[in-house]
Structure 1
């Protein structure tokens, strides 16, 4: 196309108005404009980027001219092939926003999804199909123009209900009803009850009882004097008061700070022991 046939709106329109008019003019000729900002520390680096991604195709480069204004030139490869400025001011650096702007003019592939606009018939068909409760993939398959599932979802979301809406829950065609939702069970706080076992005080007869000789160990068992029995206390209380930590609950009861322990006075020897004299000697006999 000759350059004189390309319209020029620079002098009487703002930047946004120029861009809209450019896109409309290109759309009439089935041309799509792709703009890409590029950060480069020098014009040579920017041209290298343009040459690599243009693959021999001419492209538009916007940057700062020698007159210190934003300017546009036409490039191919790493060379500027046309400068519309009468003084050939060219491009020497990035635009005022800090970017080199590259624009590629391309024609969409025939039948490419999402590239064509929605006609009034397409929108009405979209509204009817969405009202039938179909999924986005089913709607896309029935619409003309080979539209994609994402194109259908995007159009419905941007329409905000104007063209209908997806139900959001897929249909179970095997049984003809919506797939049931699985409800999560309500979490409840569980506080286990920790039983405290009461110990019956020893009788005078039990206090006088002594253990018989045992032949199952290599060395004789030391006779442990029967100390007055104590009521179990919690493990936390025993730790805070330096009492015996021997477990006094059932074998399979839960442990923790509230589990029952002996609670008797700890033995003086050895130093820093955690048990009373009776339980300390019993543990030594089992270990032997």
Structure 2
């Protein structure tokens, strides 16, 4: 894993700019420069599709999904019960996938969606310049309770 900082730190809706922590996490895990990984929300239209609940799942046509496919890889997502503590989530994944770098998603201190890279029982990298490694469960619009999100990069079969 080669840690990569996100290039776009904050959302600036007036400018149609949205944070790119996720692509920084993918770049970090795959040891490639962040500029090689497409941004999932390069413009207001793509952000609004996500924000309106139209594109929560990762499918072909999503820039990162398509980019990974060209590399023979895919993204696997797992919703994890938000009633679990961060330590419980990390322990669960470490038990079943020891030594694997993966992306954990939740909310940052500011309340916005954010992701970090985890391995075994710890968050090993936060692409935000603060490197705060602080996450809480995320509450998606259509969910009755909060969730953590686990993203794993695997072979395309």
**2:136 corresponds to which residue?**
93
Question: 1:10: how far off?
Answer: 3.3
TM-score with structure 1 setting the length: 0.35
**2:86 corresponds to which residue?**
43
Q: Relative contact order (C-alpha < 8 Å, sep 6+): which is higher?
A: 2
Is this contact kept in 2: 1:71–1:91, CA < 8 A?
A: no
Secondary structure of 2:106's aligned partner: strand
Richer in strand (by share): 2
Any residues of structure 2 matched to 1:158-173 within 5 Å, and which?
none
Deviant stretches of 4+, over 4 Å: none
Q: CA RMSD in A?
A: 2.2
**2:101 corresponds to which residue?**
58
Question: 1:44: how far off?
Answer: 0.9
Rounded to whole Å, the distance in 2 between the matches of 1:78 and 1:7 is 29
Aligned partner (choices 73, 83, 88) of residue 126 of structure 2: 83
Rounded to whole Å, the distance in 1 between the matches of 2:92 and 2:148 is 10
Rounded to whole Å, the distance in 2 between the matches of 1:17 and 1:79 is 26
Cα deviation code 1:97-146 (max 9, x no counterpart): 311111111114xxxxxx4xxxxxxxxxxxxxxxxxxxxxxxxxxxxxxx
Question: 1:48: how far off?
Answer: 0.9
TM-score with structure 2 setting the length: 0.61
Kindly indicate whether residue 87 of structure 2 is the aligned counterpart of residue 23 of structure 1: no
Indicate how the Cα distance of structure 1 residues 105 and 35 shifts in structure 2: closer, same or farther if over 3 A, else same. Answer: same
**2:33 corresponds to which residue?**
3
